[in-house]
């Protein structure tokens, strides 16, 4: 299979259907991900498909494509652009690309900025290009006006800034990741405006909501994925059933015990926040292995308000983690306490639960690192997306049977509450049809 994919990549012919091998390729890429160490441009300079990552963060999405290169030398990493200096530094350090700290709105709308950016990263318009744009939903903070109406807010959103860049560059593939709410009634106007722009520029656009746990991430993390290509394609599909999901025990039980605020002598990232004694006193009273904060323990305000059942709660050993966010360092922000040890999660534990390999190196101070981890697309998920994208680029058009049996695109806003949506994904592994 791999030799055939390599040959198709070199020849550029799309006469074979590689879709039946999607799971096999995904698993191979995820295995290679475990061995990742920072790379330099010499390792991918001659690869045929260009990759550009906007709103890149630390590079969780790009990491899946970099891992695929260890299996099939396909993607040339041109660069990741982020407005945050530490995130841009982490991306540059790990992928050997220029450090690009910039405001995507300037690249999209200021005369000459995008051309200068593309020249700087060595973009070649004659080559296949994949463009990533995991944009936040909110409108531009730097361009906010006091009395914007809804139409203005959509037009000036970060999502539309990415759509403007897509319009100008015309990449072969576009990828967007966001919270599930992106496909809800509340934010649908942002998505639908962007999708309209993509379709007007010749893209077939499909979108759905995934649980990252279905792709081997040891975490229940529901996210919307939007993919656009210049011809018809099928969406990626998770390959694990709920009974097969990776657990907290699978992910972090091998790590040595550490006290709060004390780093492991073998790994400086295996260090939690140095909690106040009052925080530790609360944690000690929380039952091990998935326990909740007992009533009357901790701040009194927590007993007066519904919705705080996870605060100070412990992770369960034999379940996937809850969603890891940039608050994962703080037990008072959710179920971010170790299953047994009396402390919050270490940065290493948070990174592993996000499926970052140990060899990936983060830049910045502790808060920077937790934020980069929490905001990232899990690399195990992006490995599956990368595998699917490569297969679609190399395969003959999908058959009616393949389209019918692939994940369905969401064409109407989903429930804003998500209770029914997420329940369906948990039960069936995909959205109910």
Whether residue 381 is contained in a domain is answered as: yes
User: According to the model, what pLDDT value does residue 216 have?
Assistant: 98
Query: How far is Cα 74 from Cα 116, in angstroms, rounded to an integer?
Result: 25
User: Taking 80 as the threshold, does the pLDDT of residue 303 lie above it?
Assistant: no
Q: Mean pLDDT over residues 237-254, rounded?
A: 97
DSSP annotation string for 208-222:
EEEEGGGGT-SB--E
User: Taking 90 as the threshold, does the pLDDT of residue 336 lie above it?
Assistant: yes
> Among residues 300, 326, 345, which one ends one of the domains?
345
Whether residue 66 is contained in a domain is answered as: yes
Whether residue 102 is contained in a domain is answered as: yes
- Here the CATH number for the domain that contains residue 409 is 3.40.50.150
Asked if 21 and 107 sit in the same domain, the reply is yes
User: How far, in Å, are 302, 310, 322 from residue 307 at the CA level?
Assistant: 9, 8, 15
Q: What distance separates the 2 farthest-apart alpha carbons in the chain? A: 68
Q: Mean pLDDT over residues 16-40, rounded?
A: 96
Whether residue 114 is contained in a domain is answered as: yes
- pLDDT grade, residue 185 (50/70/90)? confident
User: Could you read off the pLDDT of 272-287 as tens digits, one per residue?
Assistant: 999 999 999 999 999 9
Backbone angles phi, psi at 284, to 5 degrees: -60, -25
Greater confidence (152 vs 68) lies with 68
Whether residue 157 is contained in a domain is answered as: yes
Q: Mean pLDDT over residues 220-230, rounded?
A: 96
What is the C-alpha end-to-end distance of the chain, expressed in Å?
A: 32
Asked if 237 and 135 sit in the same domain, the reply is yes
Nearest by Cα to 62 from 48, 84, 47, 80: 80
Whether residue 390 is contained in a domain is answered as: yes
Asked if 388 and 421 sit in the same domain, the reply is yes
Asked if 317 and 206 sit in the same domain, the reply is no
Q: Mean pLDDT over residues 198-219, rounded?
A: 97
> Among residues 345, 365, 392, which one ends one of the domains?
345
Asked if 233 and 189 sit in the same domain, the reply is yes
Asked if 393 and 320 sit in the same domain, the reply is no
Asked if 331 and 404 sit in the same domain, the reply is no
| Active-site residue list | 137
User: According to the model, what pLDDT value does residue 295 have?
Assistant: 83
SS3 173: strand
Asked if 8 and 149 sit in the same domain, the reply is yes
Asked if 228 and 175 sit in the same domain, the reply is yes
Q: What is the mean pLDDT of the chain?
A: 90
Query: How far is Cα 363 from Cα 75, in angstroms, rounded to an integer?
Result: 24
Q: Per mean pLDDT, which range of 14-28, 128-142, 363-377 is the poorest?
A: 128-142
Greater confidence (421 vs 331) lies with 331
User: According to the model, what pLDDT value does residue 93 have?
Assistant: 98
User: According to the model, what pLDDT value does residue 433 have?
Assistant: 52
Whether residue 150 is contained in a domain is answered as: yes
Greater confidence (131 vs 15) lies with 131
Whether residue 81 is contained in a domain is answered as: yes
Asked if 45 and 83 sit in the same domain, the reply is yes
- pLDDT grade, residue 189 (50/70/90)? confident
Q: What angle, 0 to 180 degrees and rounded to 10, lies between the N-to-C axes of helices 22-33 and 379-394?
A: 140
User: According to the model, what pLDDT value does residue 154 have?
Assistant: 52
Asked if 325 and 416 sit in the same domain, the reply is no
Asked if 156 and 117 sit in the same domain, the reply is yes
> How many distinct structural domains can be found in the chain?
2
Tell me the residue range of the domain where 84 lies: 2-244+377-428
DSSP annotation string for 25-37:
HHHHHHHHHTT--
User: Could you read off the pLDDT of 391-423 as tens digits, one per residue?
Assistant: 999 999 999 999 999 999 999 998 755 555 565
């Amino acid at each position: 299979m791999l030799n055939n994919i390599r040959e198709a990549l070199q020849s550029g012919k799309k006469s074979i259907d590689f879709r039946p091998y999607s799971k096999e390729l995904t698993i191979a890429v995820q295995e290679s991900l475990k061995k990742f160490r920072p790379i330099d441009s010499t390792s991918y300079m001659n690869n045929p498909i260009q990759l550009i990552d906007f709103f890149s963060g630390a590079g969780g999405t790009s990491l899946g494509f970099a891992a695929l290169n260890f299996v099939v030398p396909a993607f040339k990493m041109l660069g990741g652009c982020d407005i945050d200096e530490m995130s841009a530094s982490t991306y540059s350090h790990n992928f050997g690309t220029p450090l690009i700290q910039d405001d995507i709105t300037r690249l999209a709308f200021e005369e000459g900025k995008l051309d200068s950016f593309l020249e700087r990263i060595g973009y070649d318009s004659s080559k296949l290009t994949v463009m990533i744009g995991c944009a936040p939903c909110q409108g531009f903070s730097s361009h906010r006006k006091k009395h914007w109406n809804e139409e203005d807010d959509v037009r000036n959103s970060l999502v539309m800034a990415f759509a403007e860049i897509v319009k100008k560059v015309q990449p072969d593939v576009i990828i967007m990741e966001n919270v599930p709410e992106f496909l809800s009634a509340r934010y649908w106007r942002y998505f639908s405006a962007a999708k309209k722009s993509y379709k007007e520029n010749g893209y077939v656009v499909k979108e759905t909501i995934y649980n990252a746990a279905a792709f081997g991430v040891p975490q229940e993390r529901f996210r919307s994925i939007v993919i656009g290509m210049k011809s018809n394609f099928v969406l990626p599909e998770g390959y694990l059933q709920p009974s097969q999901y990776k657990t907290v025990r699978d992910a972090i039980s091998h790590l040595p015990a550490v006290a709060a605020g004390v780093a492991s002598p073998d790994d400086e990232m295996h260090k939690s926040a140095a909690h106040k004694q009052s925080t530790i006193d609360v944690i000690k009273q929380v039952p091990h292995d998935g326990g909740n904060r007992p009533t009357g323990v901790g701040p009194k305000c927590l007993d007066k308000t519904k919705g705080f059942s996870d605060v100070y709660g412990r992770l369960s050993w034999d379940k996937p983690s809850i969603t890891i966010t940039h608050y994962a360092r703080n037990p008072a922000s959710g179920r971010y306490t170790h299953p047994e040890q009396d402390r919050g999660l270490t940065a290493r534990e948070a990174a592993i639960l996000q499926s970052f390999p140990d060899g990936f190196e983060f830049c910045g101070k502790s808060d920077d690192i937790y934020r980069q981890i929490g905001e990232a697309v899990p690399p195990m998920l992006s490995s599956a997306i990368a595998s699917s994208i490569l297969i679609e680029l190399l395969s003959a058009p999908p058959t009616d049977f393949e389209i019918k049996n692939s994940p369905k695109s969401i064409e109407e806003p989903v429930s804003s509450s998500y209770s029914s949506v997420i329940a369906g994904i948990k039960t069936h592994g995909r959205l109910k049809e």
